Structure 1
Amino acid sequence: MIPDPPQLEALSGGQIGVKVSTFSKPSVDSHWHFHPEVEVVWIEKGRGLLHSGRAMRPYGPGDLVLTGSNLPHAFTSDPSNKSGAKWTVLHFRPLAWGENFWALPENRPTRLLLDQAERGAIFPKYSANNCYEILRRMENRTKMDAPIALLLDLLHSLAITTSHEWLNTPNFSVKKAAHIDSRLESVLRKIETRFTESNLTQAEIAKGIGMSPQAFSRFFKNKSGRHFHRHLNELRVARACSILIGSRKSVTEIAYAVGFSNLSNFNRRFREITGMPPTAFRSNFYKD
């Protein structure tokens, strides 16, 4: 389902510059929210679905997620699965340091990263391990550790990493997302109530708002930042991820249940979106 309008969350650490906290619970219970602070989350344990702006993506141990200022987001997991979750969160406000600071030539890579952070980004385990060590030092810092210096070190490490994945498209904007086109909103809700129907087509949705398939394709890409079939497949794969970790159903059963008409296409799209086959996604969840 499309989340309700995200809630502004006032963070207790927002006024002290840098705050790092670690949470450990039976399952992740994050809600759909936003805040002016930039956020970095490192997942130590637990799996589920990340909602970021208009994107959905599975997350798991070792993933590091960057969320820009005021970008709506939520980390969700199956509440019936109590295998445990643990994550570390960093919050800070770049604007509190002033424009002149970020204009320094030495900060150029970091500034470019923060300028694009409203798209949200996820960094895989092999490029996030060093950043986790910095987060741990920030949380358990001694008198010899300077939190601002550690933060700049962490941000620079992220800025020079090329293995990250932007979660939202280049034309995504937090401000634009807050003012969603009424026709697009209607289309998205229709898709999200019917995406498990294997015979759902772009032509049918286009006809529902009086457009030709060609005009609708351009409209959807321009307004949502992604192609219709990509959005449809993301919804189906997201539902499949939830079923995989919350039931004992076979991969074939799940493929048909979420709207795919054949197993090979499901496996191909699942790997394309999550980076792994469905069997590996399930086994990795229960391994952690």
Structure 2
Amino acid sequence: MKSALQKSPIPQTHAFVAKHLKEPIFDPNWHFHPEYQLFMVLKGSGTRFIGDNVKPFKPGDITFTGPDLPHLWRSDQETAAVNTPNPCEGIVVYFNENLVGNTLLQKEETIRIRQLYKKSLRGLDVTGKTGKTVHKMLSKLLGLQGFDGVLELLKILNILSQSNELRPLASAGYTNSLREGDTERMNKVYVYVMKRFRQKMAVAELAALTNMTPTSFSRYFRIHANKTFSEFVSEIRIGHACKLLIEKKMNVSQACYASGFQTLSNFNKQFKTITKKTPMAYKQEYQVV
């Protein structure tokens, strides 16, 4: 199992690292690191976990995460088919807070950058026109060398710091209480749930998997995920239903039962609780005219 807290990907001789990822799947392990991270999905889909936030991901998504915020992009099994070369593709940028310089970071001119850093501790979705602009800039950044690359990254941070199109992900009360052993245990839970969320699952199954009693597991999960296990499973199922409604063009009833819900009434209730919309309203919002 890969260590939860990863070794820094930035060499001491560099200010940042930008990589063009082409992989069968994105990193399947729940982990965190001390660097800030910009990540853009170019190809692939699945479920994204950032802190206590769970959402589907798709091409075009851009996220900005701060230090020590646990995260995971778990690719769909069908997307990661063996016979499909590099079904997952993205651009990732790692950098430290001192990219701007500690002295400059304390000046009035960089107050918005400081505010951006603070917001990123919850993780941020980069949306709207800002997302389109940053998409082009991240693609350009890959081809730049030397100080030109640093300047481009600073421009990206400046644009993000002035945007009102950044959406916080983890809840305001979320804190990372994970240790390496906890992360390995949570990885087991995530893998198990992602494979079986369409079926009925009992807390006793997960308790056995993690060598706990059902009561201990329920308490443990709530502490580290900032939600109950049933709420977590509902989020996974609703995220999957969203993809079925839009990508597979299923109707509401089909998406309900294909996502693991036993009744349409419970599906509608959970869908509105999580997305703030009814399934039909969600489907119509993304309907291609």
Fold conserved between structures, TM > 0.5: yes
CA displacement, residues 164-203 of structure 1 (integer Å, 9 cap, x when unaligned)? 22111112123x344999xxx9xx99xx6997688989xx
1:42/1:278 Cα in 2 relative to 1: closer, same or farther (>3 Å)? farther
Specify the code of the residue in structure 1 equivalent to 2:267: F
1:67, 1:55 → 2: CA distance? 12
**Residues 1:249 and 1:97: Cα distance change in structure 2 (over 3 Å):** closer
TM-score by length of structure 1 reads 0.68
In structure 2, do the counterparts of structure 1 residues 96 and 152 end up closer, same or farther at CA, with 3 Å as the change threshold?
closer
Offset, 1:127: 2.5
Aligned to 1:72: 70
Distance 2:12 2:49 in 1: 22
Look up the SS of the partner of 1:8 in the other structure. Answer: coil
1:116 aligns with 2:122: no
Alignment CA distance shift 1:252-1:168 (3 Å): same
CA deviation vs aligned residue, 1:212-232 (integer Å, no higher than 9, x gap):
xxxx9xx99887545887545
1:152 maps to which residue? 154
The Cα of 1:138 is off from its aligned counterpart by: 1.9
Seen in structure 2, the aligned counterparts of structure 1 residues 273 and 9 have a Cα distance that, compared at 3 Å, is farther
Q: Aligned equivalents of 1:70 and 1:260: distance in 2?
A: 34
Give the superposition deviation at 1:90: 0.8
Separation in 2, partners of 1:17, 1:48: 31
Q: Root-mean-square deviation (CA), in Å?
A: 4.5
Structure 1 contact 48–77 (Cα < 8 Å) conserved: yes
In the alignment, which residue of structure 2 is the partner of 1:140? Answer: 143
Return the letter of the residue paired with 1:73: H
| Distance (whole Å) between structure 1 residues aligned to residue 2 and residue 22 of structure 2 | 26
Aligned to 1:213: none
Task: Report how far residue 47 of structure 1 moved.
Answer: 1.4
The one-letter amino acid of 1:121's match is L
Change (3 A) 1:269 1:253: same
- Deviation larger for 7-16 or 270-279: 270-279
Deviates more, 1:60-69 or 1:4-13: 4-13
> 1:62 Cα deviation (Å)?
1.5
Q: State the TM-score, normalized to the length of structure 2.
A: 0.68
8 Å contact from structure 1 (residues 251, 279) kept in 2: no
In the alignment, residue 256 of structure 1 is paired with which amino acid? Answer: Y
**1:263 counterpart residue number:** 264
Change beyond 3 A, Cα 1:248–1:134: closer
**Secondary structure in 1 matching 2:77:** coil
Aligned residue number for residue 45 of structure 1 = 43
Q: Is the 8 A contact 2:50 2:123 kept in 1?
A: yes
Does the C-alpha gap of structure 1 residues 230 and 79 become closer, same or farther in structure 2, counting only changes over 3 Å? closer
**Residue type of the alignment partner of 1:47:** S
Contact 1:138-1:150 within 8 A present in 2 as well: yes
- Given the superposition, is the C-alpha separation of residues 109 and 240 from structure 1 closer, same or farther in structure 2, using an over 3 Å criterion? same
For 1:134 and 1:17, locate their aligned partners in 2 and report how far apart those are by CA, in whole Å: 18
1:174-213 to 2 correspondences below 5 Å: 174=176, 176-178=177-179, 209=215
Question: What is the aligned residue count?
Answer: 263
Residue 49 of structure 1: CA displacement?
Answer: 0.9
The reply on whether 1:54 has 2:57 as its aligned counterpart is: no
Q: Secondary structure at the residue paired with 2:103?
A: helix
Which SS does the other structure have where 1:137 is aligned? helix
Identity of aligned residues (%): 23
> Is the 8 Å Cα contact of residues 53 and 177 (structure 1) preserved in structure 2?
no
- Establish whether residue 89 from structure 1 lines up as the match of residue 92 from structure 2: yes
Query: Is the 1:38–1:94 contact (alpha carbons within 8 Å) kept by the matching residues of 2?
Result: yes
Q: Structure 1 residues 7 and 103 mapped into 2: Cα distance closer, same or farther (>3 Å)?
A: closer
Amino acid at match of 2:236: L
Query: CA 1:43–1:125 in 2, change beyond 3 Å: closer, same or farther?
Result: farther
**In the alignment, is the contact (CA less than 8 A) between 2:112 and 2:161 conserved in 1?**
yes
* Partner residue in 2 for 1:171: 173
- Greater shift in the superposed pair: 238-247 or 163-172: 238-247
